[in-house]
Amino acid sequence: MRFIPSEAPLPSHALRLDNTADALAQGDQVQRHAAVVLHFPKWTDGRAYSQAVLLRGRLRYAGDIVATGEVLADMLPLLRRCGFTAAQLRADQRLEAAQRALGFFDTHYQTVPPERQRAAEGAAS
Amino acid sequence: MYQYNPFDRHFVRQRAAQYRDQLARHLRGELPDEEFRPLRLQNGWYVQRHAPMLRVAVPYGELSSRQLRQLARIAREHDLQGAGTAAERGGFGHFSTRQNLQFNWIPLSQSADVMDLLAEVDMHGIQTSGNCIRNITTDALAGIAPDEQVDPRPYCELLRQWSTLHPEFAFLPRKFKIAVTGAREDRAATDWHDIGLTLHHNAAGEVGFRVAVGGGMGRTPLVAPEFRAFVPWQQILVYIEAVVRVYNLYGRRDNLYKSRIKILVKAEGQRFVDAVNREFDALIADPATPRLPQAEFDRVAACFAQLPAPAAVPDARPHDPLPAFDRWLQRNVHGHKLPGYRAVTLSLKRAGLPPGDVTADQMEGAAELAERYSRGELRVTHDQNLLLPWVSEGDLRSLWLAAREGGFATPNIGLLTDMIACPGGDLCALANARSIPIAAAITERFDDLDELHDIGDIDLHISGCINSCGHHHSGHIGILGVDKDGLEWYQVSVGGADGSTLSGRAVAGKVIGPSFAAEEVPDVIEALIGTYLRSRQGGERFIETARRLGALPFRHAADAVRRSTAATE
């Protein structure tokens, strides 16, 4: 997981999707971009998790997926598992807390599509 | 029961450690209230009227005596406060309709220690609150019911594991409840759930699920329509993933009262069904999507292997006929799938204690009964009692005596005083009115066992507010606490049904006029019961009479006993 400083600009080549956007309907657009930026208007609004899952699982999108908006330290384990590769934390969040949040679990019960995809690719190679 | 393996234990301990870190950051001032709140909710910590309430998950209601003893320890050592009346000093738990246990008085500063104590006995509060997939509920007679087609417990456990800390579905528009049954009789009110699952065999003899989606109570009571008549068990997690994903993307988040999946299902109708089907088909077509493997099912199912029949110990001594024992046999003892066994309900509906409440001593007492008579296993029932699933026929009389000693033998299961009630305004910050005094007044009014038995089977459900934790919509008689001008009032409904054979197809009851004052409620209940007793034909039960007559005669009878609210008519 890459952390983008809160004051840093987002990659200019990225496609920004609102969290109400139909990610699948924009498949062609998505594939033309090296990064997609997904947005959390409120941290408890979980739509962007499903958007990321669809980008990875259904569209097999292999570029960067960046979380922006109200991104809090405790969201990191969820973001990573749903296929996000970068996060721009809300300005007041401690990087150290976010990194620690990634370390609490070394295992999980279920798989989500990005993990299945990685497992399938691993098995094929 | 499911046996935790090293993986499960490791996982729960990691969760407890994560929570300890979050609590510490909160107590240090690094994690403000509004950001700590969703995190503690998903661990079962819900700040209530007096203190944080802890809701402990009892997965599909299965509880070991060892776990119950640990819950007693938590009640004794942590669920306490120094002041107030005896009832306000804590030291007790409350079993909920969702088969969980709630504590009311544990200080937040001790919450991480309590999570460690729970983890010691393979328990936790994961996803017992918050906008996520909640504890899976099922039939309290799962695995032992004579009318069962498929034992739901291994599937419940697989669903529990799948839903536990699912990263995509941790922040849904609203809470999400799944119930599963595998019997002909629906004892889990499945159609009142966000997803209701019924296990059955198809024509080829394969196991699968009937899936209903979009039920729920609250302000807009809706019964879940069937989405699929048969989803093969290997694909059920894929189907649920599709339902929850579409809900997560399109469920309303602008209005708390319209954010449950039932509103989306109702508003979108076939469009929602189509979206779910498209998502499901795409997942099924993807070779990366796993099916539930037989080996994993077998591993889990082995935990629920049927016990051998008990050694035939016929009740050798002919007993003197004892009417009290017979009555208990009739109401609290249930048939069993295996010969030689019976299931026995320990009634938590008795005078002097709120429905579903157990003190620390009573938890120890129930654990002791489970160890002596039920191989150390108990079930929490949907109607807030405890059940011993493995009682030998030959032990019934001895168990009855011991249960009586412990205050668990009130022979009222399924009767008027076996009511469902939420904790209400005494404890809950959401409640508009108190439930406990209403339940107590009705219990006191109907304290004659002969009368109760004559009235017969009836579901009385009491909720302290429209959130419907006491399932008032599905009660044959429902009581709902409402707030007008800062005062407590009670709306009464008649004819609701949970979907069981006795109750009939799941449906919300009809409100019988303006709200009543608290002191009128026992008279109103008596008037409704009186109307039934006068009008019943043959062996008709209350709900059958209510269905035949409709709500009007009950409304008239209730109006006739209005006192302080008479002027509003």
CATH number at residue B20: 3.30.70
**The pLDDT value given to residue B315:** 58
Best B28, B41, B165, B249 residue to mutate vs chain A (most A CBs within 10 Å): B249
pLDDT band at B485 (very low <50, low <70, confident <90, very high): confident
| A17 contacts: CB under 8 Å, gap ≥ 6 | A23, A26, A36, A37, A38, A39, A51
Question: Per-residue pLDDT for B137 more than 50?
Answer: yes
Dihedral angle of Cα B92, B95, B99, B101, to the nearest 10 degrees: -20
Q: Residue B289 sits in a domain of what CATH number?
A: 3.30.413.10
Verify whether the Cβ–Cβ distance A82 to B11 is below 8 Å. Answer: no
| B388 contacts: CB under 8 Å, gap ≥ 6 | B343, B344, B345, B346, B369, B370, B373, B374, B377, B378, B379, B399
Q: Are residues B143 and B78 in the same domain?
A: no
Helices (H), B207-269: 236-250, 261-268
Helices (H), B28-145: 33-41, 65-77, 111-120
Pairing of strands A64-69, A86-87: parallel
Question: Per-residue pLDDT for B11 more than 70?
Answer: yes
Closest by CA position to B480, among listed B537, B519, B427, B438? B438
Copy the structure tokens of residue A108. 């999980």
Distance from CA of B160 to the nearest CA of A (A): 9
**The pLDDT value given to residue B524:** 98
Nearest-angstrom CA–CA distance, B348 and B387: 10
CA dihedral for B474, B226, B300, B303, sign (positive or negative):
positive
Cβ contacts of B30 on chain A, cutoff 8 Å: 94, 97
| Mean pLDDT value across residues B162-167 | 98
Q: Are residues B142 and B115 in the same domain?
A: no
Closest by CA position to B15, among listed B136, B168, B128, B173? B128
Closest by CA position to B33, among listed B22, B43, B42? B22
Verify whether the Cβ–Cβ distance B290 to A111 is below 8 Å. Answer: yes
Query: For residue B120, what are the CA distances in angstroms to B57, B106, B136, B303, B513?
Result: 14, 18, 22, 19, 51
User: What's the residue count for chain B?
Assistant: 569
B247 in a domain, yes or no?
A: yes
A43, A53, A109 member nearest B168 (Cβ)? A53
Q: What is the DSSP letter of B425?
A: G
Nearest-angstrom CA–CA distance, B39 and B411: 42
A46, A51, A81 member nearest B171 (Cβ)? A46
Of all residues in chain B, the one with the smallest CA distance to A115 is B288
| B87 contacts: CB under 8 Å, gap ≥ 6 | none
Question: Per-residue pLDDT for A26 more than 80?
Answer: yes
Name residue B460's beta-bridge partners. Answer: B477
Contact status of A119 with chain B (Cβ, < 8 Å): yes
How do residues A67-85 score in pLDDT, each as one tens digit? 999 999 999 999 999 999 9
pLDDT band at A123 (very low <50, low <70, confident <90, very high): confident
Pairing of strands B101-103, B92-95: antiparallel
B455 in a domain, yes or no?
A: yes
Other C-beta atoms closer than 10 Å to the C-beta of A86 total: 19
Where in the sequence is the domain holding A79, given as residue range(s)? 2-124
Q: Are residues B525 and B472 in the same domain?
A: yes
pLDDT band at B80 (very low <50, low <70, confident <90, very high): confident
Of all residues in chain A, the one with the smallest CA distance to B164 is A109
Backbone angles phi, psi at B267, to 5 degrees: -70, -40
Nearest-angstrom CA–CA distance, B375 and B459: 30
Instruction: Please provide the average confidence, as pLDDT, over all residues in chain B.
Output: 95
Nearest-angstrom CA–CA distance, B175 and B172: 7
How do residues B262-290 score in pLDDT, each as one tens digit? 999 999 999 999 999 999 999 999 999 99
Copy the structure tokens of residue B25. 């950051």
Residue after which a domain boundary falls, among B405, B440, B473: B405
Verify whether the Cβ–Cβ distance A112 to B165 is below 8 Å. Answer: no
Distance from CA of B146 to the nearest CA of A (A): 33
pLDDT band at B41 (very low <50, low <70, confident <90, very high): very high
Verify whether the Cβ–Cβ distance A44 to B289 is below 8 Å. Answer: no
Verify whether the Cβ–Cβ distance A119 to B288 is below 8 Å. Answer: yes
Nearest-angstrom CA–CA distance, A88 and A68: 5
Residue after which a domain boundary falls, among B405, B434, B469: B405
pLDDT band at B306 (very low <50, low <70, confident <90, very high): confident
**The pLDDT value given to residue B47:** 84
* Cα B568 from chain centroid (whole Å): 36
Verify whether the Cβ–Cβ distance B168 to A112 is below 8 Å. Answer: yes
- For chain B, what is the radius of gyration of the CA atoms? 23
| Mean pLDDT value across residues B388-407 | 96
Question: Per-residue pLDDT for B320 more than 90?
Answer: no
Distance from CA of B162 to the nearest CA of A (A): 5
Cβ contacts of A117 on chain B, cutoff 8 Å: 288
| Mean pLDDT value across residues B411-438 | 95
Cβ contacts of A51 on chain B, cutoff 8 Å: 249
State yes or no: ipTM above 0.95. yes
Question: Per-residue pLDDT for B568 more than 70?
Answer: no
Q: Edge-to-edge strands of the sheet including A2-3?
A: A2-3, A86-87, A64-69, A35-40, A15-17
Nearest-angstrom CA–CA distance, B565 and B558: 11
Q: Residue B388 sits in a domain of what CATH number?
A: 3.30.70.3340
Question: Per-residue pLDDT for B390 more than 70?
Answer: yes
| Mean pLDDT value across residues B553-568 | 92
Residues A34 and A13 sit within 8 Å (Cβ to Cβ): yes
Residues B469 and B481 sit within 8 Å (Cβ to Cβ): no
**The pLDDT value given to residue B86:** 63
Nearest-angstrom CA–CA distance, B185 and B180: 12
Q: Are residues B97 and B19 in the same domain?
A: yes
Cβ-based contacts under 8 A for chains A and B = 95
Copy the structure tokens of residue B470. 């006491």
**The pLDDT value given to residue B18:** 97
Cβ contacts of B174 on chain A, cutoff 8 Å: none
Distance from CA of A104 to the nearest CA of B (A): 6
Q: Are residues B275 and B370 in the same domain?
A: no
Best A72, A75, A109 residue to mutate vs chain B (most B CBs within 10 Å): A109
User: What's the residue count for chain A?
Assistant: 125
Question: Per-residue pLDDT for A89 more than 70?
Answer: yes
Verify whether the Cβ–Cβ distance A104 to B14 is below 8 Å. Answer: yes
Query: For residue B290, what are the CA distances in angstroms to B59, B143, B283, B426?
Result: 24, 27, 9, 47
Best B42, B168, B284 residue to mutate vs chain A (most A CBs within 10 Å): B168
Nearest-angstrom CA–CA distance, B207 and B203: 10
Domains in chain A: how many in total? 1
Nearest-angstrom CA–CA distance, B280 and B271: 14
Where in the sequence is the domain holding B261, given as residue range(s)? 137-295
**The pLDDT value given to residue B312:** 64
Backbone angles phi, psi at B513, to 5 degrees: 95, -175
A81, A101, A116 member nearest B290 (Cβ)? A116
Q: b/e map of A91-107 (b: 16 or more CB within 10 Å)?
A: eebeeebbebbeebbee
Q: Are residues B282 and B390 in the same domain?
A: no
Copy the structure tokens of residue B153. 């417990």
- Token match 């419907």: residue? B468
Verify whether the Cβ–Cβ distance B18 to A78 is below 8 Å. Answer: no
B15 in a domain, yes or no?
A: yes
Least confident segment among B70-84, B364-378, B548-562: B70-84
The CA angle B474-B475-B479, to the nearest 5 degrees, is: 110
Best A50, A75, A112 residue to mutate vs chain B (most B CBs within 10 Å): A50
Q: Are residues B156 and B257 in the same domain?
A: yes
Cβ contacts of A94 on chain B, cutoff 8 Å: 30
| B302 contacts: CB under 8 Å, gap ≥ 6 | none
pLDDT band at B569 (very low <50, low <70, confident <90, very high): very low
Cβ contacts of B237 on chain A, cutoff 8 Å: 110
Domains in chain B: how many in total? 4
Question: Per-residue pLDDT for B255 more than 50?
Answer: yes
Identify the contact set of chain B against chain A, taking CB-CB distances under 8 A.
Answer: 7, 10-11, 14-15, 17-18, 21-22, 25, 30, 35, 38-39, 131, 161-172, 237, 245, 248-249, 253, 282, 286-290
Of all residues in chain B, the one with the smallest CA distance to A50 is B168
pLDDT band at B85 (very low <50, low <70, confident <90, very high): low
Name residue B94's beta-bridge partners. Answer: B102, B357
Q: What is the DSSP letter of B477?
A: E
Copy the structure tokens of residue A125. 């190679």
Verify whether the Cβ–Cβ distance A113 to B289 is below 8 Å. Answer: yes
Cβ contacts of B165 on chain A, cutoff 8 Å: 105, 108-109
Helix axes B396-405, B360-373, angle to 10 degrees: 170
Question: Per-residue pLDDT for B88 more than 80?
Answer: no
